[in-house]
Amino acid sequence: MSLPSLALAMLMLVGVPSADPATLEREARQLETMLIAPCCWMQPVSQHQSQASDEVKQQIRVLLAAGKSRQEVLDAFVAQYGPRILAEPPAQGVGRLLYVGLPLAFVLSAAAVIVFLRRATVRRPQAHGAPDTVLASDDAYARRLDDELRDMD
């Protein structure tokens, strides 16, 4: 028998009021995905294999069996470990930057790339005198060449 199911069975034997065991287990598994393993802060408790994540899993089941709601369980872990334990940071304070800042930065970056590409690909018209000057100097050169060739004959 696994440690979390043993804890749930012990709570049921002691007489702690609880809901349907299947419902508690489903809720516990959902909560495991919402919390980060406190040993390394890298993976959700549901995916991490360590003693610390096993203890969190057990504590989730104990709290749920005691009649705590999802939010109360999350609040208990935040009180114990701080907001870092949450897989999805709350949308307040610096956490709000994650929800607003990143999409805003993406949109601004995309706009900057579009503007850059448009400016790089659009051909700018030359100044008014530039094409005439080139043609005029070519014509003058051609006349001079013709004059010199005629003089040679």
Please compute the mean of the pLDDT values over residues 14-22 and round it to a whole number. Answer: 59
In this predicted structure, what is the pLDDT of residue 44?
85
Q: What pLDDT is attached to residue 4?
A: 46
Q: What is the CA 83 to chain-centroid distance, rounded?
A: 18
Helix H or strand E encompassing 125: none
- The C-alpha atoms of residue 4 and residue 11 are separated, in whole angstroms, by 11
Assess whether pLDDT exceeds 90 at residue 109: yes
Architecture of domain 3-85: Orthogonal Bundle (1.10)
Amino acid, res. 6 = L
* 35 DSSP assignment: B
Q: What is the domain partition of the chain in residue ranges?
A: 3-85, 95-152
